[in-house]
Amino acid sequence: MEAKSLLSGFQLNQTNPLYQTSKEHQYTKFPYQNWVSFKPHYSTKLFSQRVGVNFSLKGKNNVDDKLDNVVCVGDDDSVVGIRRKKLAVFVSGGGSNFKSIHEACVKGLVRGDVAVLVTNKPDCGGAEYARRKDISVISFPKTSIVPTGLSSMDLVTALRNLEVDFVLLAGYLKLVPVELVRAYPKSILNIHPSLLPAFGGKGYYGMKVHKAVIASGARFSGPTVHFVDEHYDTGRILAQSVVPVLANDSAEELAARVLHEEHQLYVEVTSALCEERIAWREDGVPLIQSKENPKQYY
């Protein structure tokens, strides 16, 4: 797709309003399981971004009523009254997480659609898959090797023109430009193949991560989904999934085990994101609202 058509008619979207609830969370770890369950208690304030909702709640007595009025669940367990979101996915390689997310969107497991793929390698497997599925592909950044790539500001303009709601990094190996981070606050996610903050930062990617985990003697690893800030792997953690590191694991064996969890975790988080089930605790920690029980967060 030509960049020109994506850059025309650019307008900034307005900031999504916030609504406020009151909850406090303690977590209980379950041994031999790869998840953490939160038991909610009333106290700490949570803030959740929602389109078209602007509640100012006073006191905890009316919190449950407000939540029930906002999140409407139909008989088929699909969320009613929330528009489908438009996603931009960034890849640098084969894009297996991108494929999982796209397939989940097509199957209706995610209330969103991949509007565009952004890549620094126009010939990578993820870009080829996108073209086969008639998904627009944007090259970024502009380099001597990729002269058709966009500048940072042109990229922001293109995504705004496509009305992209959220940006998902799925094996994108470049640092996201500050212009994009500031244009999409609390709306950019990345998945990393270790339990952050361990084994993260510049230089920790791909098989290098798994080799470092094994060399450290760590007994557990797994993917982390986190919000993106202006640095490598330092944004707020949203979700994690744990896998064992076995005594005789190779990096390849551990990578395969982690990748299997990545495909499930990223789809689940993307579903929550598109259904507007991300809440922010008052200390800045993001939590996911349970779809089955909207009064619980994890």
Q: Which residues are annotated as catalytic?
A: 192
Give the residue from 157, 158, 80, 147 showing the smallest Cα distance to 120.
147
Contact status, residue 228 vs residue 179, Cβ threshold 8 Å? no
Contact status, residue 137 vs residue 117, Cβ threshold 8 Å? yes
* Count of CB atoms situated within 10 Å of the CB of 132: 8
Give the residue from 137, 105, 97 showing the smallest Cα distance to 120.
137
Classify each residue of 233-248 as buried b or exposed e, where b means 16 or more C-beta atoms within 10 Å of its C-beta.
bebebbbbbbbebeee
Per-residue tokens: 124: 């990578």
Helix (H) or strand (E) holding 21: strand 18-29
Contact status, residue 193 vs residue 223, Cβ threshold 8 Å? yes
Provide the strand spans (E) within the chain.
Answer: 18-29, 36-49, 72-73, 79-80, 85-91, 112-119, 136-139, 166-169, 188-192, 220-221, 224-227, 237-240, 243-244, 278-281, 286-288
Contact status, residue 224 vs residue 195, Cβ threshold 8 Å? yes
Stated length of the chain: 298
Gap between the Cα atoms of 29 and 5, Å rounded: 50
* Count of CB atoms situated within 10 Å of the CB of 161: 15
